[in-house]
A and B are shown apart, each in its own frame.
Chain A
């Protein structure tokens, strides 16, 4: 049945939920509070694992509002940056075999071992950027004489759409090259990196919209690590930092939800159920990090007909993930800041990226590069 209220069209104000969470007065108030409660001695490091958080932090100059001894570091939060070269190579191979490879724009320039999808496209392969998986599914329906593959990259935010379309039985000339990854195993890995100081996690709001709060419970319980799920407006991020600092001050470790307007304890049960029907969880390689157990989604056997690996028999075991001189592997885990890489804005720029972190609009190096260039322009 179709419901319609066309009178709403065009009259919608920017919604309160967005407008008020950009209130600069409130943001300054929170920043002052953070200053007040931060102990003068010691250095405190909070880690986020989301490219969109890094964008908010850099775009709104949030680091400049924090006390000098509080740092926010960026963990492996860009799903494009952590796709291993071997999986890019598989997509390039398919494209060169004459399969139409569809993907989000961010992926096009990510370096494989020997060139990117953009290079393959320049050599005549049919590589198409789509805004949404729906566009790719529709293209395959309209051009039944060609084989289509959707290169499915992204964390738990993006994976439900892939699961949904796999269950909806797309046309026979359509399949998925799945490179989805799960965030909590990467967060757990960071806690095992010996010389990486982390005093609290800012957990990613939109991943959490799907998976809910439960997967983060182990961080305070097992690792005594304060963890706050936060949204993406400046007030959200500042409040997330404030709540973490408050926990440190109280010498406690809790799991808190700053983003209650979107994140429910149980996440999105409908999306989780759909993912569970379509996927199994398996180990997966992360660029610059290595193989992590229980960190990747794979289509269940009954959907093998839609699995491009099986359908076209492509499997690249080993790729060239990090080029000599590139420090992406250290940037990805938050061990160094982009400007500590000798290539940053010299040999590696947004126009001519060397490492994956400079390619995606959410890669830490790319976000920093944009901030640097707008600072000097």
Chain B
């Protein structure tokens, strides 16, 4: 039930946004719980964006994991 899917914000109109889940799956979602703008990524749960998804953080975390794994090899 706590499944939430990342999506890309295509347009914003009031408390609604049109988002793209990838492969052209488009849907209107409610964005009242987050502050987003066009181009952001959001996590969508049952029609409501519940949090922004930070792509920079995503990449930084991955490189951190790689560093930890590498460091322990030495």
Contact of B57 among A20, A51, A260 (CB under 8 A): A260
A258 proximity list for chain B (CB < 8 A): 61
Do residues B38 and A52 form an inter-chain contact, with CB atoms below 8 A? no
State in angstroms the CA–CA spacing of A135 and B27 once bound together: 13
A111 within 8 A of B: no
A132 proximity list for chain B (CB < 8 A): 30, 46-48
Q: Interface code A76-98, partner B: CB below 8 Å = 1, 0 otherwise?
A: 01111000000000000000000
State in angstroms the CA–CA spacing of A160 and B33 once bound together: 8
For the side of the interface on B, what is the size category? 35 or more
Q: What is the minimal beta-carbon distance from B32 to any residue of chain A, in angstroms?
A: 6
Contact of B22 among A15, A232, A235, A270 (CB under 8 A): A15
State in angstroms the CA–CA spacing of A260 and B52 once bound together: 11
Q: What is the minimal beta-carbon distance from B37 to any residue of chain A, in angstroms?
A: 7
Q: Interface code A139-174, partner B: CB below 8 Å = 1, 0 otherwise?
A: 000000000000001110110110010000000000
State in angstroms the CA–CA spacing of A26 and B63 once bound together: 11
**Which label, helix, strand, loop or mixed, suits the secondary structure of the B interface?**
mixed
B61 proximity list for chain A (CB < 8 A): 258, 260-261
Q: What is the minimal beta-carbon distance from B21 to any residue of chain A, in angstroms?
A: 9
For the side of the interface on A, what is the size category? 35 or more
A157 proximity list for chain B (CB < 8 A): 1-2, 4, 45, 50
Do residues B30 and A106 form an inter-chain contact, with CB atoms below 8 A? no
Contact of B43 among A5, A13, A36, A206 (CB under 8 A): A206
Do residues A261 and B57 form an inter-chain contact, with CB atoms below 8 A? yes
Do residues A239 and B8 form an inter-chain contact, with CB atoms below 8 A? no
A8 within 8 A of B: yes
Residue of B nearest to A23 (CB): B62
Residue of A nearest to B48 (CB): A161
Interface residues of A in 183-205 (CB under 8 A from B): 204
State in angstroms the CA–CA spacing of A30 and B32 once bound together: 38
A347 proximity list for chain B (CB < 8 A): none
Residue of B nearest to A36 (CB): B72
Do residues A271 and B33 form an inter-chain contact, with CB atoms below 8 A? yes
A17 proximity list for chain B (CB < 8 A): 6, 41, 53, 55, 58-59
Do residues A158 and B2 form an inter-chain contact, with CB atoms below 8 A? yes
Do residues A10 and B20 form an inter-chain contact, with CB atoms below 8 A? yes
Residue of A nearest to B57 (CB): A261
Do residues A158 and B46 form an inter-chain contact, with CB atoms below 8 A? yes
State in angstroms the CA–CA spacing of A310 and B37 once bound together: 40
Do residues A261 and B53 form an inter-chain contact, with CB atoms below 8 A? yes
Do residues B72 and A33 form an inter-chain contact, with CB atoms below 8 A? yes
Do residues A8 and B39 form an inter-chain contact, with CB atoms below 8 A? yes
State in angstroms the CA–CA spacing of A71 and B32 once bound together: 40
Do residues A270 and B33 form an inter-chain contact, with CB atoms below 8 A? yes
**B interface with A by C-beta (< 8 Å):** 1-4, 6, 8, 10-13, 20, 22, 24, 26, 30, 32-35, 37-39, 41, 43, 45-48, 50-51, 53-55, 57-62, 65-66, 69, 72
List 7 other contacts, CB 8 Å, given A17-B6, A26-B62, A30-B65.
A3-B38, A6-B11, A52-B3, A133-B46, A133-B47, A164-B48, A262-B43
